[in-house]
Amino acid sequence: MWYPELLLPILLIIKDASAQWNVWMPRDISAMTNSCVVIPCTFMYPSNIRPSRGVHGIWYFGQPYPQFFPPVVFKSRTDIVNESYKGRTKLLGDLNQRNCTLRISNVGAEHSGRYYFRADLGGANIFTYPDFSELKVLDQPNIDIPEEIVSNENLDLTCYAPDNCPDMSPEISWLYTDYLLDAEFSSDYVEEGNTAVLSSTLSFTPKPIHNGMLLGCRVHFPNTSFIYERLVSLDIKYSPRSVWVNVSREVMEGSSVSLYCEVDSNPPPRISWMFGDEELLWDTALNVSLQLEQVGSLQDGVYTCIADNGYGTMNSSMYLAVKYPPREPWVNSSITVQEGSTLVLHCSTKGNPPPTLTWLKDGVLVGTITAEEVSVLELVELTPQADGMYRCLAENEHGRSSSSLNVTVEFAPVFLEESKCTVVREGVQCVCVALGNPEPIIEFHLPDLNITVNDTESRFNYYTHTDGYTATGMIKLREKSNNGGNGGGPVNVHCRVSNAYGSEMVRLELQQEKKYMMAVVVGTIGGVAVIAFIIAAVRYVGRNNKKENGNPGQDLVSKLENPSLFYSAVKKDKQNLRKKVLKTELLGSKFNSILEETSTGDDGDYQPVASMAELEKQELNYAALEFIGGRSRNGASVQGDDGSDYTEIKAK
């Protein structure tokens, strides 16, 4: 509370100062609405002036110059004041003592402003002091709030209430502090420049949870109904304390995805969506969405939302799994290797989920099935059978893909069992069949003639054909003497096959065709069987006739109007038989088909043949039965029906 007695020391100081027009009053002073305020004031004037009719004073509001007709707050000579100040102002000081202290009661918002004092010492000694006191009429208390409130840092909030009215003193209390577990309160009374202020300080440690909450200060004047309150919302700065993003998820390749990030922080942070080291999107906000269109396998991975608001940084990540079928596998290039070597085949691919890898050779499973993105197939000591197309098949639940390569195995030539010599109509035909890579070169050697046949000449038909790795060579010995003998000697033909990896020579064995042997056997057995059947039939008929008629010969003639000749013969023309037996079948253009047999059986059925001369000596005999009626046993010819039959068997 302010008291006029406090001005006495100041007046003494001013009295000793050099005489001049001067005034002292508080530059700023405040009061609560409907309360009162006392504005301390002292003035001085030149010492050589002697007030003739006493000292008078005037208080103006707003400006000090009377010519502008400012509102009169107080006037010592009369009671004429501005309407808003009637009955509200009173001079507490003694002007003769140079004390111009003024009291204003029941102040309102319209009374806020500057107040000037004018001294009237009589005559021309009238002076308006340029200094002023500015009154602030408050309808609520002031709360001193720091510009920045940071979480977890101690905070002091101070509430001020002016105490510049001698008739009443304020009391301060805090509102809505129950949620502050560590709140502490302290009070203070400050007097400065003859103005008084009562303060109350609330101390606590703010937390992020306190952000946005209300706190209040209440000022109450006892024994009155005057209550003043002020509420403030706490703006507490804190670093990001939570970053929420989508949970990790799986999507199919080609679909669209929205990634959402929400942050709890104050102030709002700078949010960045990161994919690896690449910043995809940023914005200053509490939440940001990242839209991904037509996602592909390259967008599979970890996405991170980073929040930074200057008070701290926080991030959160999620995994986006892009599902897609296996990509085309990578495999070795097609390769050519040598027999007996080792080869390692690699297959790698990408797919989500990871695909299984399967190695197939010519459609048949080889190796093992692996559930990894890399598969290795090791082929040890390669054989010609390892030659072929190898395919790596990648499969997962979304599809399949494959890649192929060819493995070519090169090897020295080997003879096939079809290599042999056979007898044909034109002479002897020798066939040599070999397998090799590169394709073997075939040559025939006739040691007896010291001849190597590798081309067509007048005495020989030489022909070669290749089909893949199979080479076939054929030679025909047209003349009987070309077999190396003089009609009866054995055939002596050698075949030599060679390529870059080696050569081999074998002697070709002469074999008869099965058709010839079967024809001879069947012809002989068949002829004997027919003759036996005819003889049995004739005897059977003769016996039956004798039993029935007593004269079978005569009865036979009588039954036949014209004697008939029954004839049965098995004839085999020697030339036709040779054609049938020695006929050579050529099936297609491939010479290996020459050796295919139309009948089943083992090669052991073939019998070696010395020469064509021996074949010519072989003949097949035939038998003929002639039945001639009407001739007696003694050779006499019988005409007509004499009751006797005659049967004759001729062997030609």
Instruction: Decide if pLDDT at 651 tops 60.
Output: no
What average pLDDT does the segment 196-210 reach? 94
Query: Which of 113-127, 300-314, 502-516 has the lowest average pLDDT?
Result: 502-516
CA 579, CA 425: separation in Å to the nearest integer?
A: 7
Residues 32 and 116 in one domain: yes
User: Domain check: are 133 and 46 in the same one?
Assistant: yes
Ramachandran assignment for 585, one of left (phi > 0), alpha (psi -120 to 50 degrees), beta (any other): beta
**Does residue 414 have a pLDDT over 90?**
yes
Give pLDDT, residue 73: 95
As given in the structure block, the two tokens for residue 440 are: 């073997």
Question: 425 has which bridge partners?
Answer: none
Residues 328-350 have pLDDT tens digits of 999 999 999 999 999 999 999 99
What pLDDT sits at residue 584? 34
Residue 485's contacts (CB-CB under 8 Å, 6 or more residues apart) are 448, 491, 611
Residue 578 has pLDDT above 50, yes or no: no
Is 17 domain-assigned?
no
Last residue of a domain, one of 175, 206, 234: 234
> Are 313 and 337 found together in one domain?
no
Same domain, 258 and 230: no
- Residue 506 is predicted with a pLDDT of 93
- What whole-number distance in Å separates Cα of residue 14 and Cα of residue 20? 10
Same domain, 61 and 92: yes
Residue showing tokens 């402003």: 113
Q: What integer pLDDT is reported at residue 600 of this predicted model?
A: 35
**Does 612 score more than 60 pLDDT?**
no
* Least confident piece of the model among 226-230, 345-349, 571-575: 571-575
In a domain, 39, yes or no: yes
- For 96-110, what is the mean pLDDT? 94
For residue 486, tell me if it sits in a domain: no
Q: Is the dihedral of CA 30, 34, 40, 41 positive or negative?
A: positive
pLDDT, averaged across the chain: 79
**How far is residue 168 CA from its own chain's centroid?**
80
Same domain, 335 and 305: no
Rounded Cα gap, residues 10 and 3, in angstroms: 13
* Range in 31-40, 119-128, 515-524, 537-546 with the lowest mean pLDDT: 515-524
Starting at the edge strand that comes first in sequence, how are the strands of the sheet with 330-331 ordered?
330-331, 343-348, 374-379
**Is residue 580 over pLDDT 60?**
no
Q: What is the pLDDT of residue 631?
A: 42
Span of 4-8, 77-81, 218-222, 258-262 with lowest mean pLDDT: 4-8
State residue 193's pLDDT score: 67
With contact defined as beta carbons under 8 Å apart, do 458 and 405 qualify?
A: no
Q: What is the pLDDT of residue 572?
A: 36
pLDDT at 325 over 70: yes
CA separation, residue 203 to residues 16, 119, 212, 237 (Å): 47, 48, 17, 17
Nearest CA-CA partner of 642 in 558, 579, 541: 558
Which has more pLDDT, 624 or 450? 450
Per-residue confidence (pLDDT) for residue 644, from 0 to 100: 40
Structure tokens at 446: 């006739």
For the ranges 147-151, 248-252, 542-546, the lowest mean pLDDT is seen at: 542-546
Last residue of a domain, one of 361, 391, 411: 411
Percent of the chain predicted with pLDDT > 70 = 75
pLDDT at residue 101, rounded to an integer: 95
Q: Do residues 349 and 457 share a domain?
A: no
Q: Could you tell me which residue, 450 or 173, shows the higher pLDDT?
A: 173
Burial 561-586 (b: 16+ CB within 10 A, else e): eeeeeeeeebebeeeebbeebbeeee
Place of tokens 């000292």: 55
Among 51-60, 401-410, 454-463, 490-499, whose mean pLDDT is lowest? 454-463
Predicted pLDDT at 32: 94
Domain that holds residue 255: 242-323
pLDDT value for 546:
54
Judged against a pLDDT cut of 80, whether residue 258 lies above it is answered with yes
**Are both 429 and 468 inside the same structural domain?**
yes
Q: Are residues 309 and 218 in the same domain?
A: no
One domain for residues 446 and 497: yes
pLDDT of 53 higher than 70 = yes
The residues that bridge with 473 in the sheet, in sequence order, are: 432, 464
The rounded Cα 605 to chain-centroid distance in angstroms is 68
**Same structural domain for residues 34 and 132?**
yes
Q: What is the pLDDT of residues 418-457, one digit of tens each?
A: 899 998 887 888 999 999 999 999 989 988 888 888 765 5
* 275 located within any domain: yes
Look up the CATH number of the domain holding residue 373. 2.60.40.10
Q: What is the mean pLDDT of residues 157-163?
A: 94
* pLDDT surpasses 50 at 627: no
Percent of the residues in the chain that have a pLDDT greater than 90, as a whole number: 57
Identify whether 599 is part of a domain.
no
Residue 567 lies in a domain: no
> Which two structure tokens, joined as six digits, stand for 67?
């010519």
Pick from 377-381, 423-427, 504-508, 538-542: least confident? 538-542
The residue that leads in pLDDT, 145 or 68, is: 145
pLDDT at position 448, please?
84
The pLDDT, as a whole number, for residue 545 is 60
In a domain, 280, yes or no: yes
Residue 532 burial (10 A CB sphere; 0-12, 13-18, 19+): exposed
Of 411, 439, 458, which one is at a domain's C-terminal end?
411
Number of domains in the chain: 5
Inside any domain, residue 610: no
Q: Are 307 and 386 members of one domain?
A: no
Query: Per-residue pLDDT for 298 more than 80?
Result: yes
List all residues 6 or more positions away from 67 whose beta carbon is below 8 Å from its beta carbon.
Answer: none
Give 34's contacts (C-beta < 8 A, 6+ positions apart): 106, 107, 108, 226
DSSP 13: H
Q: Which two tokens stand for residue 520?
A: 């001879």
Q: Which run of H or E residues covers position 520? A: helix 514-549
